[in-house]
Structure 1
Amino acid sequence: MPHLTTPSAQSLPPSPHSVLKMAPHSKQRRFSSSSVVPDSVSGFAFAFDIDGVLLRSAAPIPGAPEALAFLYNHNIPFILLTNGGGKHESARVAELSKKLGVPLTEENFVQSHTPFKQLVGGLQDKTILVTGGDGDQCRKVAEKYGFKNVVTPGDIIMECPAIWPFNQIFSDYYKSATRPLPTPINHTNPAHSLKIDAVFVFNDPRDWALDTQIILDLLLSKNGVLGTTSEKNGDPSLPNNGWQQDGQPQLFFSNPDLFWATSYHMARLGQGGFQASLQGVWDATTNGAALKRTIIGKPHAATYEYAERVLDKYRAQMLGAHGGRVGQLDRVFMVGDNPESDIRGANDFKSAHGTEWTSILVKTGVFQDGTKPAYKPKVVVNDVLEAVKWAVHQQGWKGKAE
C-alpha cells in the first residue's frame, strides 16, 4: 500500500498564470518581467485557511478581498491551505477567484484531499471506495486525480439495498449519482465478489450511518471483499487481537476537523465528527482494538510539508517571472480561525528547510472571542486584513496595507 509523501516538483501540474475576470474592487494585472519584486518581499509568504478566514458560508468576509488584493498587487506570495474540499482544485480556484477578486490557480491552492494525488501510482488499477461530499462529486475528483475504479457507498446500496436496512431514506438522493459496480456483490462466492483495496474519506460524509456501516464491514472483512468476515478478528494470539490483520483495505481521512465555521452562529461538526463516531463504533465492536488509519490535513505535518513545497514552487515561479531574487523562504504567516488545526499545525511544524511558520488567529470563524484558544497563536487579530497588516509590519514592509 502506498504512503503519503511530500510532493516533488513533477507532482504539481504546470498550468500558466492566466488573468481571470475580477471583481470591481480589484484591478487586473499580469505577472510580467517588468515588475520588480523588492528584496524585502522575497523572504516571506502567507498561507490562508478559507472557511472562517476568507469566506463564511460561501460569502467573502469583510476585508478578505482587500487583503488578498494587497498581496497580489505587491507580489507577495501566498497559498490557500484549507481542510475543505469536495470539488476538484480547478473548480474551487475558479469559484474563489470570482468571489475574492484575485486570480488564483491550482499552483497556489491546497485543499484537504490534494495530497491524495500522490497515492494514484500504487492504486491506479485497484478498486477504491470514496465517501463524502455532494452526490458523486468526490468520485469525479478521484477520477481526475487518476484513480480508474472508484466506487461510492451509493453505488453499493443501490445494488444491494439489504446492506443497510434504512436504505429507503436516501434512495432518491443516490439514484441520480450512482453507477453499476465494477464487480457484483456475491455473498456465496467471495472470489467473484466486489473487493475494495482502499477507503478514502475525501470530504465530510452526508450519510454518516451508511458510510459507517460500509467502512466497518470492510474493516472486518477478509481481504477487503464486501460481505465477508475475517476469521482472524478477535484472535488474541495475533497482533491487535487479529483486527485489521487480514488484508483489509487501508483507511484514509482527508482532515481531522471536529468543527468548522458555517452561516450558523455556532461551529458545526465536520469530518472529525464522523471520525469520532466511526471510532466509537469500532471501539464497541472490537473491545477497544487500535484502529489503523492515515489522517492528513491540518494540523498534521505531512500536509504542512506538502504545502511548503507547493508554496516554494509557486513562489519561485512568481518571483522569477518578476525578476526578483528567489532566495530562502524564511517565514510563512499561517492565518487561520481554528486553534486545533491552523494554529496547532503551524506551531508544531518543523520545516526541513528552516522556514519559520508563524500562526495568526482571526476571530471570524471557529474561534470564539473571549475564550482561551487550545493552542496559543503568535497573535490574535480581528480579521484577515488585520492579520496581513500585522505580518507585513513584522517584516518591516515599507508599503501600506489598507
Structure 2
Amino acid sequence: MAPHTRQFRNGSTAVAVDGMPSFAFAFDIDGVLLRSSAPLPGASTALEYLHNNSIPFILLTNGGGKHESTRVAELSKKLGVPLTEENFVQSHTPFKQLVEGSETVESLKDKTILVTGGDGEKCRKVAEMYGFTNVVTPTDIMMAYPSIWPFSLAVDFTAVQGHRPLPTNVDHMNPSKSLKIDAIFVFNDPRDWALDLQIILDLLLSKGGVLGTVSEKNGDPSLPNNGWQQDGQPKLFFSNPDLFWATSHHMPRLGQGGFQASLRGIWDETTGGAVLERTVIGKPYPETYKYAERVLNKHRAQMLGGNGEVKKKVSRLERVFMVGDNPESDIRGANEFESPHGTEWTSVLVKTGVYHDGRHPKYAPKVIVNDVLEAVKWALREEGWNGVVD
C-alpha cells in the first residue's frame, strides 16, 4: 500500500510530497494493545495500518521482566506486526545507561548489584545482557544465608532452582571481607515481597552496603536526613511507579508501585519519617519520556531516511500521540513532558485497561476513546491524514 499524503491543517505546513509524516505514536501495551497475553480488539489493525503507511511508532511500556529481544519477538507474533528493539522501550530499558554510568551515577558494569522482580532468573539474565557482570538476587542471599528471613521455609523452592553462589560470603563479623552491594535495582514487579523488602531494608540501613552491618550514622540528628542513607548505602532504583495495572482479572491488580509504597511505609516506621532516597523511572517521569523520544527519533530517521546509498532528509518530529490506559502514568507523563526538541506530546486515553468509563481522571487527556483503533483514527483526523483505516 502506498503512503498517503497529509493535508493542510489550520493553515500549517503539510508534510513533504513523498508523504513523510511529521507525527508519530507511542503506545502503552497492557490495557491498550493486550490484556494479559491476548490482543485487544483493533490493536493489530491499528498497528498494521501504521506499519503499512510508514507512520513511525514505538511501544512505551512500564512492563518488563524480559529482555527487549524476547519481548518484541513475542509481541510481533501476537499482534501480527513486525517489531524490533529499535521501536520498543520497556520500564527497565533505560537501566542500560548505568552500565557505563551517567552524570550522577558511576559505572556499575563491574560492581555488585542486587536485582529483584520478575519470574525466576529472567531479570538477572536481562541485567547481564545489558552488560552488568556481577548480579545477585534475593534468592541467592536467602539460600546462602537462610536466617536472613525467618520464614524462608515457606518460600516456594521451585522458584529458587536457578539460584547461584554468592560472589562473596556474608560475614557481618568481618565486614571488609563480606558481601557488599553497590546498587539495588527493582527491575520488575517483585514476586516475594516479604523477602525482598527485608533484604532491601537491611541494605538501606547498612554501613557501606555490606549486608549484615548497621551504620552508626543512622538516626544522627546532626547529619542530613538524620543520618539515614548517609553512609555509603547502595543507591536504590525502581523501574516504574505503577500502583495498579491491567491483567486478565476484571479489576486492576497491584503493581511495582504497591511494592514501593510498602517499602516507604516500612521505612517511615523504621526511621521516624526520614526521606527514602531513591530513583524512580518509567512513566510518568520525564527522564523516561526523554529517553523514549530519543529512541523514537532514531527509529524514525532510520525508517524514513531511506536505505542504501539513497538518503532522504528527515523532517522534524512535530507531534507524538501517547495512547495509554492509565491516567496516572501514560496521560500524566505526556501532559507534563517538555520535549527538549519542542515536540508536542498529545495524550489519548482508552477505556480498555486501568481507566474505567464514567470516572473523571485525575490527569485529563486530550481525548478519551473506546480503544486503540479509535485512538489512531482520531489522531489521523487531527493530522489531516488523507487515508482510511479499515
- Answer yes or no: same fold by TM over 0.5: yes
Whether the aligned pair in 2 keeps the contact of 1:38 and 1:324 (CA below 8 Å) is no
Query: What's 1:224 paired with?
Result: 209
- TM-superposition CA deviations, 1:36-88 (whole Å, max 9, x none): 98555420000000000000011000100000000000000000000000000
1:123 aligned counterpart, secondary structure: coil
User: Residues of 1 paired with 2:156 and 2:77: CA distance?
Assistant: 35
Are 2:324 and 1:345 aligned? no
Query: What's 1:357 paired with?
Result: 345
- TM-superposition CA deviations, 1:134-191 (whole Å, max 9, x none): 0010000000000000000000000111000000111513431200000010121111
1:137 to 114, 122, 128: 122
2:242 to 250, 257, 277: 257
Whether the aligned pair in 2 keeps the contact of 1:132 and 1:202 (CA below 8 Å) is yes
User: Residues of 2 paired with 1:266 and 1:324: CA distance?
Assistant: 48
Report the CA distance between 1:324 and its aligned residue.
5.6
User: Residues of 2 paired with 1:321 and 1:264: CA distance?
Assistant: 44
Change (3 A) 1:79 1:38: farther
1:273 to 242, 245, 258: 258
Query: What's 1:182 paired with?
Result: 167
2:143 to 158, 170, 175: 158
In the TM superposition, 1:32-47 aligns within 5 A as 40-47=19-26
- TM-superposition CA deviations, 1:348-390 (whole Å, max 9, x none): 0000111000000000000001111110000000000000000
Whether the aligned pair in 2 keeps the contact of 1:63 and 1:385 (CA below 8 Å) is yes
Whether the aligned pair in 2 keeps the contact of 1:45 and 1:331 (CA below 8 Å) is yes
Whether the aligned pair in 1 keeps the contact of 2:120 and 2:160 (CA below 8 Å) is no
In the TM superposition, 1:23-62 aligns within 5 A as 40-62=19-41
1:398 to 364, 376, 386: 386
User: Residues of 1 paired with 2:193 and 2:19: CA distance?
Assistant: 49
- TM-superposition CA deviations, 1:223-279 (whole Å, max 9, x none): 000000000000001110000000000000000000000001110000000000000
- TM-superposition CA deviations, 1:74-122 (whole Å, max 9, x none): 0000000000000000000000000000000000000000000000010
In the TM superposition, 1:272-291 aligns within 5 A as 272-291=257-276
Change (3 A) 1:321 1:37: farther
Query: What's 2:112 paired with?
Result: 127
Are 2:306 and 1:327 aligned? no
Change (3 A) 1:384 1:324: farther
In the TM superposition, 1:205-224 aligns within 5 A as 205-224=190-209
Query: What's 2:182 paired with?
Result: 197
User: Residues of 2 paired with 1:37 and 1:85: CA distance?
Assistant: 37
1:272 aligned counterpart, secondary structure: helix
Query: What's 1:367 paired with?
Result: 355
Whether the aligned pair in 2 keeps the contact of 1:39 and 1:324 (CA below 8 Å) is no
Which residue type is aligned with residue 153 of structure 1? P
Report the CA distance between 1:325 and its aligned residue.
4.8
Report the CA distance between 1:396 and its aligned residue.
0.3
1:237 aligned counterpart, secondary structure: coil
User: Residues of 2 paired with 1:38 and 1:118: CA distance?
Assistant: 38
Which residue type is aligned with residue 235 of structure 2? Q
Tell me the percent identity. Answer: 74
Over aligned residues, Cα RMSD in angstroms? 1.5
User: Residues of 1 paired with 2:31 and 2:154: CA distance?
Assistant: 32
Are 2:57 and 1:78 aligned? yes
Change (3 A) 1:150 1:384: same
1:277 aligned counterpart, secondary structure: helix
Which residue type is aligned with residue 38 of structure 2? A
Whether the aligned pair in 1 keeps the contact of 2:34 and 2:40 (CA below 8 Å) is yes
Whether the aligned pair in 2 keeps the contact of 1:56 and 1:262 (CA below 8 Å) is yes
1:80 aligned counterpart, secondary structure: strand
Query: What's 1:336 paired with?
Result: 324
Query: What's 1:17 paired with?
Result: none
In the TM superposition, 1:370-381 aligns within 5 A as 370-381=358-369
Query: What's 2:92 paired with?
Result: 113
Whether the aligned pair in 2 keeps the contact of 1:132 and 1:203 (CA below 8 Å) is yes
Gaps of 5+ in 1: 1-26, 30-35
1:240 to 221, 225, 238: 225
User: Residues of 1 paired with 2:19 and 2:279: CA distance?
Assistant: 39
Query: What's 2:74 paired with?
Result: 95
